Amino acid sequence: MKTIRTIAASLLLFVSAPGFGAELARLAPTATHFRRPVAIEAMDVITAVVANQRSGTLSVVDVDSLAVAAEYDLQGQPSDLAQRGGRLLVTDRQRNRLLALEIGRDSARLCWELSLPTHPVSICLASDGRACSVASLWSRRVSFIEFAVAGGDDVAPKVVATVELPFAPREQLWLEAQGRLIVADGFGDQIAVVRLDTHAVESVKTLPGHNMRGLALSPAGDRVFVSHEMLNEFSPPRASEIIWGGLLSDALRAIPLEKFVDPAASLMDTSRFIMVGNGTRGAGDPDALIARADGRLIIALGGVGEVAIVEANGISVNRIPVGKRPVALAAVRDDCYLVANQLSDSISKLELTERPKSQATSPPQKADKPATYGNDQYTAEDADETGAPGAATVHDLYIGEEKDLTVTLQHVDLGRHPELGPAERGELHFFDARLSRGGWYSCHSCHSDGHSNGGIADTFGDGKEGAAKRIFSLLGVTETAPWGWLGNKPKLDDQLHQTLQLTMQGRKLDKQGVEDLIAYLRTLKPPPPYQPANSAEDTAVIAAGRKLFETLDCASCHAGATFTSSEVYDVGLTDDLGTKQFNPPSLRGVGHRYGLFHDKRAANIDQVIVEFQHQLPRALGAEEQQMLIRYLKSL
């Protein structure tokens, strides 16, 4: 169904043999930088390792004291971690590699590294440790790696297959008993099912939702849990729709396992939808997910700085405040969990204890606090708060008639960091769901990691209700004035003020806050080319397509280095309110988009050229069509 490419073993080079690896440089305890942790792995019950993406370092943490025992320079950008036989596997999204390290409190040694497709973001390890898969986001591939073992040491791990996917993958889950790997869309609504025996894509299924950031198998092995958000394209951003989660909801889906195994089955058939947000209190950006043996679920709520504990019945949800943007979880023991808080450069430890209510010795502390929303002024000083407790705190959660769940929480910074600059403050705003009424969604909720969730929303961008439009990617957005589908916002701060006022309707940003948010948006660079040239012959085809692009006058609307212009044009399309003139979106990275035109009526570039013949002055032959399509996919 999909292309599978076997990689020659000669391309898979060990940097060094085990026992003779290079030592990673150890940083001084006074090292000062922004770390931005994105993954955490328990090596055993006393030691954990944290992957710090921005600083390119790995922090070794003592689980009992939460003290940082060491920090090592990886010389890259770690994106995920997995422990295999006492060694640490690390994906590096900057240098496109998988590494194996022997790491501890005294030293870190590189055992080997392996080349991977661009932008690896997650590792999924088989239970026996003999194989793993790595998902690479922008290259839309999953690599299957096998580890040969001889005498206790690794011998030349090999990429045995690279599977191409129709979407940008992120989260993965091995279903070993069923011989399947499921891979979730990193932005939109698709899940691929890959056979482990043939490494072929067996099916691609749709799950209504986006930002699928957590996958877990139920303790009984009969269901798969998926944490995600769900956007309602028919719901305009009225206060009544936002506050109850009608516009965008924060959810958990429990899907029967057989729905993944049967290629023809729908994931929606007999699945269960669980609202993590409740009442008028949203749970913005549900992220990492762990399923406990007792049936409870632990979910990081990135947008509101909390961890949710969902009872086995799926009805009761208790929430504990941690740090800013919790994005990764690690189970140390059945009763102990670590949380990586990305935007506060910190980790939190949760220890869970159940006890009969008759043993309670003090009144319960209410762990949940009302969401902050409405017209509160949101300042830079507010964004600079840590938002997490320093010393240990205790939360008594009453979950039924018989037992309490007591949660003891500790928190520690991973090290010194500089004073927050405008871009860092803006980053806090971008991922903060408190900017929306009730805390249901952040900027990231629709513009996933600065890109797009691929959805359609009616945000009143045209000043009217009833014409939902495709959500733009914000990668490279500061270079593509004017803004909005109608090109009616010549200044980016005007666009942001409208978004905050009409779409978010939560805590207001002051002038400095808006400037900080723009500073962060400037750091979002365009995505890499969707399909760069891969041979001399392919380069020639792309060059011919570029010439066609220019001679067909496509460049008059999609001009210059940004492939857009400041005007609006009648492009032969009409929205639901009769609007015919639109500002042309940039074509940089156009192949990475989920649907094209303002309403996604075209599924992909091929359909734009072949079926719609969009704005073409003449009919193209089949060969010309393919040249033009190939050029657009190279952008």
Asked whether residue 364 carries a pLDDT value surpassing 60, the answer given is no
Q: What is the pLDDT of residue 395?
A: 77
Confidence tier at 149 by pLDDT (50, 70, 90): low
> Are 398 and 366 a contacting pair, CB within 8 Å?
no
CA atoms within 13 A on the CB side of 249: 19
Q: What is the pLDDT of residue 41?
A: 98
Confidence tier at 368 by pLDDT (50, 70, 90): very low
Cα→Cα distances 375→426, 437, 486, 508, Å: 19, 9, 28, 6
**CATH topology of 422-521 equal to that of 536-633?**
yes
Distance CA 487, CA 59 (A): 46
Distance CA 407, CA 386 (A): 20
Asked whether residue 12 carries a pLDDT value surpassing 90, the answer given is no
Asked whether residue 454 carries a pLDDT value surpassing 90, the answer given is yes
Confidence tier at 440 by pLDDT (50, 70, 90): very high
Burial of 571 (0-12, 13-18, 19+ CB in 10 A): middle
Model pLDDT for residues 495-523, shown as the tens digit of each residue: 999 999 999 999 899 999 999 999 999 99
Cα→Cα distances 257→173, 188, 276, Å: 12, 21, 21
Distance CA 483, CA 198 (A): 46
Give the count of beta carbons closer than 10 Å to the beta carbon of residue 613. 14
Model pLDDT for residues 183-216, shown as the tens digit of each residue: 999 999 999 999 999 999 999 999 999 999 999 9
**DSSP code, position 620:** P
Classify 1-164 by CATH class. mainly beta
Asked whether residue 101 carries a pLDDT value surpassing 90, the answer given is yes
Q: What is the pLDDT of residue 461?
A: 77
Burial of 347 (0-12, 13-18, 19+ CB in 10 A): buried
Tell me what percent of the residues of the chain surpass a pLDDT of 90.
81
Q: What is the pLDDT of residue 363?
A: 45
pTM: 0.92
Q: What is the pLDDT of residue 405?
A: 82
Distance CA 482, CA 291 (A): 46
Give the count of beta carbons closer than 10 Å to the beta carbon of residue 26. 16
Asked whether residue 304 carries a pLDDT value surpassing 80, the answer given is yes
Q: What is the mean pLDDT of residues 81-97?
A: 96
Asked whether residue 361 carries a pLDDT value surpassing 80, the answer given is no
Q: What is the pLDDT of residue 567?
A: 94
Give the count of beta carbons closer than 10 Å to the beta carbon of residue 109. 19
Q: What is the pLDDT of residue 9?
A: 30
Q: What is the pLDDT of residue 32?
A: 97
3-state helix, strand, coil in the chain (%, to 5): 20, 35, 45
Domain extent listing, the chain? 1-164, 422-521, 536-633
Model pLDDT for residues 19-76, shown as the tens digit of each residue: 347 999 999 999 999 999 999 999 999 999 999 999 999 999 999 999 999 999 999 9
Q: What is the pLDDT of residue 399?
A: 62
Q: What is the pLDDT of residue 173?
A: 98
Model pLDDT for residues 209-237, shown as the tens digit of each residue: 999 999 999 999 999 999 999 999 989 89
Nearest to 500 by CA among 565, 577, 579, 432: 432
Long-range pairs, 97-103, Cβ under 8 A, ≥24: 98/123, 98/134, 98/145, 99/74, 100/154, 100/157, 101/24, 101/58, 102/21, 103/24, 103/43, 103/49, 103/58, 103/60, 103/72
Model pLDDT for residues 238-269, shown as the tens digit of each residue: 999 999 999 999 999 999 999 999 999 999 99
- As a whole number, the mean pLDDT across the chain is 89
Asked whether residue 382 carries a pLDDT value surpassing 70, the answer given is no
- CATH (residue range 536-633): 1.10.760.10
- Among 1.10.760.10, 1.10.3720.10, 3.30.565.10, 3.40.50.1980, what is the CATH number of 422-521? 1.10.760.10
Asked whether residue 358 carries a pLDDT value surpassing 80, the answer given is no
Q: What is the pLDDT of residue 387?
A: 41
Q: What is the mean pLDDT of residues 376-386?
A: 42
Among the residue ranges 5-9, 76-80, 429-433, the one predicted with the least confidence is 5-9
Cα→Cα distances 176→261, 448, 503, Å: 11, 30, 43
Distance CA 440, CA 15 (A): 46
Residues 6+ apart with CB under 8 A from 397: 309, 318, 364, 367, 404, 405, 406, 407
Distance CA 635, CA 220 (A): 46
Asked whether residue 417 carries a pLDDT value surpassing 50, the answer given is yes
